[in-house]
């Protein structure tokens, strides 16, 4: 049996990270209506709460001409893998599939459609990053222990430097959030900071 309570190991959160603007991309994971809008099929209130912080980070990034990449979770009406787990969600072309209005991609931003949790799996993301000489990723979005964590893990296995602002990722509950941070810190050696702590030069 699992213990009734679990002690959460400490994670290291640094105050400030300075990244080279021309070799960095901000990745916004799955900030779509089905996840981050109250009328979404798999709405998580914490996903809504991080929108202003992601928007502020994007403004800072665009000011320094940092590349911005969105992942867009994408499924077809009869998805045999995820619909049995989660039910229908983010069906391509639907309202729920769209990125939330507050974070709509700007001209020049890149949107990568993905069919599984990992934004690298079956997508051109790695090729896009290497084509533009990106070596540093600032990863934000939802859900912390699912698509964010799988994307972060895949990036680290590909030897990208990864920074995660802990106030710009969302989870379904506190346990999942803490577990994701633990894995990022302990297993993948991700740099954890805050949106205020990320700077580009």
Active site (catalytic) residues? 30, 114, 147
How far is residue 98's CA from residue 95's CA, in Å, rounded to a whole number?
Answer: 5
- 119 by Cβ neighbours in 10 Å (0-12 / 13-18 / 19+) ranks as buried
151: nearest Cα among 65, 58, 26, 66: 26
How far is residue 199's CA from residue 15's CA, in Å, rounded to a whole number?
Answer: 11
How far, CA to CA in Å, does 113 sit from each of 47, 156, 191, 199?
Answer: 19, 20, 26, 27
3-state secondary structure of 87: coil
Both tokens of residue 14? Answer: 């640094």
25: nearest Cα among 160, 145, 141, 158: 160
Residue showing tokens 């729920």: 96
| Contact by Cβ (8 Å): 25, 134 | yes
3-state secondary structure of 162: strand
């Amino acid at each position: 049996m699992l213990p009734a309570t679990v002690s959460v190991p400490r994670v290291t959160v640094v105050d400030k990270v300075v990244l080279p603007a021309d070799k960095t991309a901000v990745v916004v994971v799955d900030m779509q209506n089905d996840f981050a809008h109250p009328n979404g099929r798999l709405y998580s209130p914490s996903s809504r709460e991080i929108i202003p912080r992601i928007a502020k980070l994007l403004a800072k990034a665009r000011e320094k001409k940092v590349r911005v990449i969105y992942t867009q979770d994408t499924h077809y009406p009869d998805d045999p893998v995820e619909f049995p787990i989660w039910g229908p969600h983010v069906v391509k072309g639907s309202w729920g599939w769209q990125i939330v209005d507050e974070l709509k991609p700007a001209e020049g931003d890149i949107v990568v459609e993905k069919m599984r949790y990992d934004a690298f799996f079956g997508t051109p993301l790695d090729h896009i990053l290497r084509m533009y000489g990106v070596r540093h990723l600032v990863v934000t979005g939802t859900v912390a222990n699912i698509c964010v964590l799988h994307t972060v893990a895949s990036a680290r296995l590909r030897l990208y430097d990864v920074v995660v602002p802990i106030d710009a990722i969302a989870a379904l509950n506190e346990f999942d959030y803490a577990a994701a941070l633990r894995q990022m810190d302990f297993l993948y050696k991700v740099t954890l900071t805050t949106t205020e702590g990320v700077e580009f030069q």
